[in-house]
Structure 1
Amino acid sequence: MKYFENIEDVNDYYNIESKHPLIDIRRYSDVIKTNSSKIETTVFDFYKISFIKNFNGYLEYGNTKFNDENGVLYFVEPGQKYSCTSTKPWEGYQILIHPNIYKKYVSEKKISAFSFFSYDVNESLLLTEEEQNTVSLLMEQAWSEMNNMEDDFSIPIVLSYINTLLVITERFYDRQFSARKTMCNQLASDFYKQLKNYYKNTSEFSNKEQPSVLYFANKLNVTPNYLSDVIKHHSGKSALHNIHEYIIEEAKILLITSSQTVSEISYVLGFEYPNYFSRLFKKKTTLSPSDFRKSVKSI
């Protein structure tokens, strides 16, 4: 497995000159020149954005076969393992961005705020022809500005193009969620089923931990951010918000129907610290668990 700590190491590996230590934009035609290429598992200490016009592999996304008639936009975050195989040279662009660049240059929205960087490859953005043209234009402008590097304004301008690309990617993903409504609805349905089954045996003490987005994402074989974004698109609320709401509903049932103490109920629901359970309950209901129980009994 290859590990690159900085962008200059990547450029040294490909024997190409670095334009800037914290950001790099390349045409794939300048990097991958062979007819067949297999990139072994690689880890970057920075962000990677890849736009491939002529994706020539096979990607299964729900029931969708993906071939070279479509463009692909995918994202890699620092520390994420990445590998690929190409049977012919790719056309498109690669952007590498070190997070330290945002310490010097102010951006409208830092790159770490975009959740799709932690999506897996099967959650890549499959572009329509119109979207592909938009992405191609933005990347071409960023690449041109980066290569000309006329003055001190060049890097802020490049970051502005990238920020526009990332913001518009959120719109494209929203379109993709809607276009694959059946698949997303099934994922949402499976999530709610898993959530319901998590507390199937709350009548008895359980050693289970408090349910988390990570737990359900692993169960459903997707990344946590992807699951949360799909659930938010489906319900208008994040996966974590849905989990908290379900916890509170289960807590209400136990407070009404059982004689268990608030601490005992918090442990049953997977909370290590009863105080945290009480704070969450009050945040969602405006009442403490004890006050809620008293209010119900007084009716």
Structure 2
Amino acid sequence: MPHCQHNEAIFVFMSTNIHLHTVEELFKFFGLNQPVHHPLVAIIDFGLVREADIGNTKISTDFYTLIYKTYNRNHVKYGRKLVDFTNGSLICLAPNQVLEMDDDTEGSSQPLGWGLGFHPDLIRGTPLGDKMKSYSFFSYEVSESLHLSEKEKQILADCVQKIEAELHENIDVHSQSILVSGIEMLLNYCSRFYGRQFITRKTSNNAVIVQVEKLLNEYFGLGDLSERGLPTVRYLAEQANLSPNYLSDLLKKETGKNAQDHIHYHLIEEAKNILLSSSRSVGEIAYGLGFEYPQYFNKLFKQKTGKTPVAFRNMN
């Protein structure tokens, strides 16, 4: 675990909403008298923070936050999900996402772990800034947090220690590139470890795949898409109790197709059935399948089959 040089502190909050604008406010939130080594990066050592009555505190920030914490008292909520840190897990939050600290259990113990916050301004204009959208785990639910092996915990802790070591250096023309490089390495390891987690949870993942296929079969089986519209990734994710990004990544890992690809597959299969079993015009079919403009249907159908709807009907 990283070794931060600051004093042990206690933080106490009642029920409230808190938005942190700068990484310096992260130290203040935890009641730490931490010198600000860099205005855009902060590392917190939870081993030096004694928690008191947090109450129900909702926290959001203007910066990216990674939290690895083991603690058997406080629970964390994101949306309606409830997760604890008893066994230790990593959560990654993008700016403006909300964490709810829910102090609803008895007993107390010393938290362990670390937190890293970095402002988007640090990576703006860098290759990492362009790459951030590819780290889809920043949009996962807390319940989809990354559960780490002992080896993986150590690898991430080593990355954080290297970032912290750079924070204690004098800021110069190399500081940003070194810090950004360290953060990118940390995020790349998170991507690798999430890939491992998808593999090790193959049984539960297969259950999700079956559920998604069932949902899509039922949705398209009801017909009347002109009124209900096409199913969305968000709809499937809500039905599966997952976040849209996590569901898409899970399906991509297991089937080679993301959630939108699965929707399109069922849509095209339904379109083929209608084209071959009715004399309805392509425009009528498009409207019946929930498309506002037939040209969008034509474009998607040709993209997925290599033929226009009319050509497909004529050759069959």
Bin of the TM-score, shorter chain as denominator length = 0.7 to 0.9
Q: For 1:89 and 1:39, how far apart are their aligned partners in 2?
A: 19
% identity of equivalent residues = 34
> Are 1:158 and 2:175 counterparts?
no
Q: For 1:45 and 1:150, how far apart are their aligned partners in 2?
A: 23
Matched residue, 1:19: 37
Q: Which of 200, 213, 220 is the matching residue for 1:179?
A: 200
Matched residue, 2:264: 244
Q: Does the Cα contact within 8 Å between 1:19 and 1:146 map onto a contact in 2?
A: yes
1:192 is paired with a residue whose SS is helix
Q: CA offset at residue 114 of structure 1?
A: 0.4
Count the aligned residue pairs: 288
Equivalences for residues 59-98 of structure 1 within 5 A: 68=86, 70-85=87-102, 87-98=108-119
Q: CA offset at residue 172 of structure 1?
A: 0.9
> Are 1:4 and 2:20 counterparts?
yes
Q: CA offset at residue 38 of structure 1?
A: 5.0
- The answer for unaligned runs of 5 or more in structure 1 is 60-64
Going from structure 1 to structure 2, the CA distance change for 1:88 and 1:144 (only over 3 Å counts) comes to farther
> Are 1:220 and 2:240 counterparts?
yes
Matched residue, 1:193: 214
Matched residue, 1:62: none
2:234 is paired with a residue whose SS is helix
Q: Does the Cα contact within 8 Å between 1:120 and 1:222 map onto a contact in 2?
A: yes
Matched residue, 2:289: 269
1:33 is paired with a residue whose SS is strand
2:293 maps to a residue whose letter is Y
Q: Does the Cα contact within 8 Å between 1:23 and 1:98 map onto a contact in 2?
A: yes
Matched residue, 1:100: 121
2:254 is paired with a residue whose SS is helix
Matched residue, 1:285: 305
Going from structure 1 to structure 2, the CA distance change for 1:209 and 1:279 (only over 3 Å counts) comes to same
Scaled by the length of structure 2, the TM-score of the pair is 0.83
1:29 maps to a residue whose letter is G
Q: CA offset at residue 129 of structure 1?
A: 0.9
Across the aligned residues of Structure 1 and Structure 2, the Cα RMSD in angstroms comes to 2.5
Matched residue, 2:154: 133
Q: CA offset at residue 25 of structure 1?
A: 2.0
Q: CA offset at residue 179 of structure 1?
A: 1.5
1:97 maps to a residue whose letter is F
Going from structure 1 to structure 2, the CA distance change for 1:288 and 1:105 (only over 3 Å counts) comes to closer
